[in-house]
Structure 1
Amino acid sequence: MPLPDYQALMLPLLQLLADQQVHRTRAVIEALAESFQLTSAERQHLLPSGKKFTFDNRVGWARTYLKKAGLIDSPQRGFLQITAAGQEVLRHNPSKIDVGYLDQFEGFREFRGLSGTTTETPAIAVLTQTSNTPEEDLDAVYQQLRSDLRVELLQTIKSCSSAFFERLVVELLVAMGYGGSRREAGQAIGRNNDEGIDGIIKEDRLGLDIIYIQAKRWEAVVGRPEIQKFAGALQGQRARKGIFITTSAFSKEAADYVRKIDSKIILIDGQALAEYMIDNNVGVTVEATYELKRIDRDYFIED
C-alpha cells in the first residue's frame, strides 16, 4: 500500500481532533499511522533528501494547510486542537478535504497567494497542483537536477584521458579527507608499472596506513578477474586496503568476491563516483544556493 499523500491525510487529521480536546502533535501522527495501518518500513521511509520521514512530513503539511484554512489551531507548541470552523466542516460530513476544498476559506487563499489582483502565479499555488507536498516537489526537482549532473559528469570523464582520470581520483580522495596534501598524494600516482595498482594514498594526514588505488576509465562492466588481479597485487605489496574505482559498473560476481576475501577492497562504480564528486565539489561548481528555512519557535518564547 502506497503512503497516503498529504491531501488524503487532511480529513482523517481533522476527524482525530473532533473531540475538541488538545492533542499532542506526535500522538496525532502515530494515531494516523495506525489508522492507515502503515508498516514499520513505511514509517521509516525518508524523503529524497534523506533528512525527514516522508509520512511525518506529509502530516506536517496537512496540518499546515488546515491551520491556514482556520480549521485547526495550535494552542501551544507541539499541540493541536480543532477550531469552531473545523467543527462546522465536520458537521457537513465531507467525503474528503483537499486543496480544492480549502480554497473556500479566505485564510487559505491568502496563504496560497490566490487572493488580490496580482497576475503572477505564486510558487505555492504551482506546487500544490500535485499530490506531493511542496517540500517533496522541491526534493524531486533537486534530485532530477542532480541525476542529470551525474550523467553529464560521467560522460565528461569518459571523454578525458586515463592519466587525467587517475589525477581526478586522487583529487577526489584528497577532498574526502585522505592523503594529506594534494602534492603528497600526487607523488604516489602514475608510476610506470603494471602490477594492477595505479597508485597509493595515505589513509589520513599522519599516514598511519596506506590505501592502494586502481582506477579504470571503462565502458565495459568490471568483472571478478579484474578484482582478483587487484587483490593479488595488494597481497604482493602486503597491503590490507584498496579502492577500485571505475566509470562503469561492477558485476555481481565481483561484488560477491570482495566480501569474501581478507583484504578490504572498496568498489566505487560510475554512479557512486559522480555522487562523491558532487558531494565534495570536485569537477563541479555551485551555480546557485537556496536555503529552506523554518520558524525558530524557541526564539519567540518570552521569559
Structure 2
Amino acid sequence: MRLPMYDEIHLPFLKLINSGSVYRVKDAVEALSQEFNLTEEAMNERVPSGSNKFYSQVSFSKKRLIEAGLIFAKVSPYKTTELAKELLELNPKKISNSLINDLKKNGKLGKEKIVQGSPYTTEEYLHKIREINENDPNFFEYISGLVLSNILKVDFKKVVFTPQNNDGGIDGFIKLGINDETICFESKCKMSRPVAVGNLRDFIGALVLRESKQGYYFTTTRYTGDVIRAVNKLKSLKIDINIELIDGDTLVDLLLKYNLENEIVKNCINLNAK
C-alpha cells in the first residue's frame, strides 16, 4: 500500500502513544507500517535529502502533535496530555491539519472542536458547503431541504423548491397532512456575516403571504441578537407563526445526526474532479 498523507498519521500515532506502546519514533514507524499495511517498496521510499520518507513523516507528525499540545515534549516514554484524552473521547476519524492549527493557536477544543465520529471539524464542513455552493448556487437549498425532510420525517420527494428568479421570499416548502399544511424554508449560504433582522422580516412576510404557520431558516453562519429576540417575541405574541433558526453549528449537527455528511463529501470529490 502507498505511504499515507501526513495528516493521516496524526490520529493512529496519537492512539499508539495513548496506549503506552510507543517509546521512540522507531517504535511508531514499525507499528504504523503495519497499521497502514505498507509494502516494502513504500517503506523504502526516500526524500530528496536521502532520508527514509515514512520515518520523516512520523517524525513530523510527532512535532505537530507536540505543537498542538496533544503529547508532552521531551518526555520519555511519549505521553498524551489531558487535551489529547478529551479529543480521543470524541472518537474522531481523523485529526486534520486544520484542527492541529486551531489547537496550536487556542490550546483547547473550542469552535473548531472536531465533530464526534467525523473526519472534519464543524468549520471545515461549513467551508466545504460554501465552496460547493459557489459552483452550484442550488446546493445549499438542496441541503436545507434534505435536512428539513429528515426533521419532519417525510420523503425528500415532498420537498418543493421555488424558482431561483421568483421565489416569493422562500427557497422551498413541504406540504404535510390531510390539510396540506405548508412548512416553508429559507436558505442563506453566507461566508462570515450573520443573518440580519431585515432578512427575517422578509421571511415572515413570505410566510404570511403563503398562509404558512411554520418556517425554518437555514444559514452557514449565525443570527444577530435582533433576529433571535424577534423570533422569541413571535412565540410570545398571539401570532400563529413559528420560526426555527438553524445556524451553521446546528446544521452540521443535523447532517451528522441524519447521516447526511456524505452529501458534502461526495460533492467535494465531484468538485475536485472538475
Question: What is the TM-score normalised by the length of structure 1?
Answer: 0.46
Correspondence 1:224 to 2:172: no
Change (3 A) 1:228 1:139: same
Correspondence 1:130 to 2:60: no
> Shift in Å at residue 231 of structure 1?
0.8
Among 143, 159, 163, the residue aligned to 2:138: 163
Q: Partners of 1:132 and 1:156 in 2: how far apart?
A: 27
Change (3 A) 1:126 1:230: farther
- CA RMSD after TM alignment: 3.8
CA contact (8 A) 1:200 1:211 kept: yes
Q: Which residue of 2 aligns with 1:58?
A: none
Higher Cα radius of gyration: 1
Structure 1 gaps of 5+ residues are 1-110, 288-303
> Shift in Å at residue 252 of structure 1?
0.5
> Shift in Å at residue 153 of structure 1?
1.5
> Shift in Å at residue 241 of structure 1?
0.7
Q: Partners of 1:230 and 1:129 in 2: how far apart?
A: 50
- Write the deviation string for residues 248-293 of structure 1: whole angstroms up to 9, x where unpaired: 21100011001111321011111211221122121338x9xxxxxx
Question: What is the TM-score normalised by the length of structure 2?
Answer: 0.50
> Shift in Å at residue 203 of structure 1?
5.3
CA contact (8 A) 1:127 1:137 kept: no
> Shift in Å at residue 212 of structure 1?
0.7
Q: Secondary structure at the match of 1:145?
A: coil
CA contact (8 A) 1:166 1:190 kept: no
Q: Partners of 1:176 and 1:126 in 2: how far apart?
A: 49
Q: Percent identity?
A: 24
Correspondence 1:237 to 2:199: no
What are the residue-to-residue correspondences of 1:1-303 with 2, within 5 Å?
129-131=80-82, 136-139=86-89, 142=92, 144-146=113-115, 148-159=120-131, 160=133, 161-178=136-153, 180-185=154-159, 188-191=160-163, 193-202=166-175, 209-219=181-191, 220-261=193-234, 262=239, 263-284=241-262
1:229 maps to a residue whose letter is D
- Write the deviation string for residues 212-264 of structure 1: whole angstroms up to 9, x where unpaired: 11111122321111101111111122211100111121100011001111321
